[in-house]
Structure formats: structure tokens, C-alpha cells
């Protein structure tokens, strides 16, 4: 199984989806170390990017081991989008993805993200503009529609294909569903059957067996993993093996989890500086330790402000596991 987007080849066809406030360089590097073959920056506002906001430019950071890499853009103003394309032209992005799927009210209510699901013609024009002003493959992410009464994913997808995009991501929920309920595999399958370009399914890709079901039930060309990778970079290793052999490898033991946490923390500190790197790691500490009976450690982790303190808390996770088995 291989996913091809322009000249980009991804095998197995599973990739790391962009997540706002999460998909920074350290997060991508950790997931790549377990087999992630394609990743994206977090969602970037074209309004902020067009004016070269310092914080936004930081979000564009990459490294030699962070390839291939896509950037995901969010916006609706064509002038800001044009300026943004100019501003990223010197960056080594391999794919430009346009977000027409974000369900957050503060985004959609301003005609951005999922707000564009209600304006198919405008979305098509934006995509055509991007395709005509870049040399790299362009993709778009959509949802099944605004709500259950206006499911228009097939029309949106065909318009995107006509605009010249090289691939399409579809989350099988409506904007109004957000992340509730279950993914509608039928609409993803309908989109796949209607298009000639690759279709990447998104939503509920939380474990290897669920990812395999997405492939089987939709006929999609690839699957984008988002929430399934939070504190769980092993999902790439496990899913690759499951797609190949039908066997899911053993889950990582506490020692591998702790070692990965330390590596992620070190990358965070190198990228953000000690104080902010530790603060930013707090939520990852919680994700890595889901299901562990370490409530006290989690509370202390959310108060930690130094790298040494956080490292010692990670060591305590291993000690707690040893104590439980004695």
C-alpha cells in the first residue's frame, strides 16, 4: 500500500494530521521516529502569516529529519492568502494543505475552516488561486458538510479536483457534529468513488484496527491520524505492522514510554527554551500516562517549571511501575 500526492510517496499510507497547538516540530519528530512518513505543521492563519507574525513564523520551523512536510493554511481572504504563499515560498514545504474543515465556532463563524463548506464556489476559487501560485502539490481538507441537512462533500470534492488539487482529506463528520458521534464511512466512500485524485480519510483513527476499518469501509487511499497519536507515537509502528501482517505488536512497556517522554521533553526544551518547553510538555505528560494510576504525579507535572523536575517525575513513573510488580 502506497499513497502518492504529486511526487510525494508515503508507505504505508498513514500520516500525521495537523493539530492546532500540538503539531510543532518536536511532536512531529517524535512521531517520525516511530514510522510516521508524512506530517503537517499545525494550522497556520494566513492573516497572521501574511504579516509575518513572529509567533507564526516560529510555527514554520522544521529540520532535516522532518521530511516530507506539509503546511496547513487557514483563511478566506484571497489577498492574505496570496501574501502568505509569497512568504512561505522560501521554505522547504513539500505540500500545501488548505483547511476547510475546522469546526471551531470562532473560525467557522468568520467564513474560515468549515465555514467554507457553505460556500463551495468561494472554496473552489481559493483552491484554484493556491494551485496557480505554488509549485508544490496542493491538498484540501473538508468535512461531510455543515450539518446533516446539507451534506455536500461530493460536490465540494469534485470542485476541489477541478481546481487542480492533488489530494483531498475528508473528515467523515459534519461541522455541527464537531468530534461527537461516529465517522460516516459512507460519505467518505462516495467521495472516493467520485474522484480520480487520492482521498485520505480522517476521524476516529485511534488504533490500528480502527484505521484498518477506515481503509476497508471507505476504499480510501490513506488515513490521517490525529487524536490517536496524542501520547501515542507507537500508533504508526503498530499500524504499519497490522496492515502488513494482521498482527498488532505488543504495546510499549513503561520503560519505553518513559524514554520516549524524556526524548520528547528534551526536544521541547531545545525548541522552546526550558520554561516554555516544560509548560508545553505538561499536556503531553498527561497524554503519555493515560490509564496509569499516578494521579499525584500528574498533578505535580502540571506544576513543574524546570526540565530537571519534569525528568525526575518521568523517572518516578518507572519506579511506580516497578513497585506495583513487586
Separation of alpha carbons 310 and 272, rounded Å: 15
Helices (H), 195-273: 208-218, 234-245, 254-272
The residues, any chain, with a CB within 8 Å of residue 68's CB and separated by 6 or more, are 8, 10, 37, 38, 94, 95
Strand 138-145 versus strand 167-174 pairing type: parallel
Residue 185 annotated as catalytic: no
Q: Which residues pair with 72 in a beta bridge?
A: 97
A 10 A CB-CB count for 124 gives 21
A 10 A CB-CB count for 185 gives 19
Give phi and psi for 151, each to the nearest 5.
-75, 110
User: SS3 for 253?
Assistant: coil
Q: Which residues pair with 201 in a beta bridge?
A: 170, 223
Q: What's the CA dihedral at 154, 135, 1, 251 to 10 degrees?
A: -100
| Residue bearing cell 520503560 | 255
Burial class (CB in 10 A: 0-12, 13-18, 19+), 279: middle
List, by residue number, the catalytic residues.
Answer: 102
Amino acid at each position: 500500500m502506497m499513497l502518492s500526492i504529486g511526487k510525494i510517496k508515503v508507505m504505508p499510507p498513514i500520516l500525521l494530521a495537523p493539530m492546532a497547538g500540538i503539531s510543532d516540530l518536536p511532536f512531529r519528530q517524535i512521531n517520525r521516529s516511530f514510522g510516521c512518513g508524512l506530517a503537517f505543521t499545525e494550522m497556520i492563519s494566513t492573516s497572521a502569516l501574511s504579516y509575518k507574525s513572529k509567533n507564526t513564523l516560529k510555527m514554520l520551523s522544521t529540520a532535516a529529519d522532518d521530511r516530507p512536510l506539509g503546511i496547513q493554511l487557514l483563511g478566506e481572504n484571497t489577498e492574505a492568502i496570496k501574501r502568505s504563499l509569497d512568504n512561505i515560498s522560501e521554505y522547504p514545504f513539500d505540500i500545501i494543505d488548505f483547511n476547510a474543515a475546522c469546526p471551531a465556532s470562532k473560525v467557522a463563524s468568520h467564513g474560515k475552516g468549515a465555514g467554507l463548506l457553505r460556500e463551495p464556489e468561494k472554496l473552489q476559487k481559493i483552491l484554484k488561486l493556491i494551485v496557480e501560485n505554488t509549485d508544490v502539490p496542493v491538498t484540501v481538507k473538508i468535512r461531510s458538510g455543515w450539518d446533516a441537512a446539507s451534506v455536500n462533500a461530493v460536490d465540494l470534492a469534485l470542485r476541489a479536483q477541478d481546481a487542480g488539487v492533488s489530494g483531498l482529506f475528508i473528515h467523515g463528520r459534519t461541522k455541527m457534529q464537531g468530534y461527537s458521534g461516529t465517522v460516516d464511512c459512507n460519505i467518505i466512500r462516495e467521495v472516493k468513488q467520485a474522484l480520480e485524485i487520492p482521498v485520505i480519510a480522517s476521524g476516529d483513527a485511534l488504533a490500528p484496527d480502527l484505521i484498518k476499518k477506515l481503509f476497508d469501509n471507505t476504499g480510501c487511499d490513506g488515513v490521517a491520524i490525529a487524536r490517536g497519536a496524542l501520547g501515542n507515537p507507537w500508533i504508526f509502528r503498530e499500524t504499519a505492522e497490522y496492515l502488513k501482517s494482521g498482527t498488532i505488536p505488543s504495546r510499549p512497556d513503561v520503560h519505553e514510554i518513559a524514554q520516549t517522554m524524556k526524548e520528547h521533553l528534551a526536544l521541547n526544551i531545545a525548541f522552546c527554551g526550558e520554561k516554555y518547553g516544560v509548560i508545553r510538555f505538561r499536556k503531553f505528560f498527561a497524554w503519555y500516562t493515560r490509564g496509569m494510576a499516578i494521579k499525584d504525579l500528574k498533578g505535580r507535572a502540571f506544576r513543574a517549571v524546570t526540565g530537571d523536575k519534569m525528568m525526575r517525575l518521568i523517572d518516578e513513573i518507572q519506579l511506580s511501575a516497578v513497585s506495583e510488580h513487586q
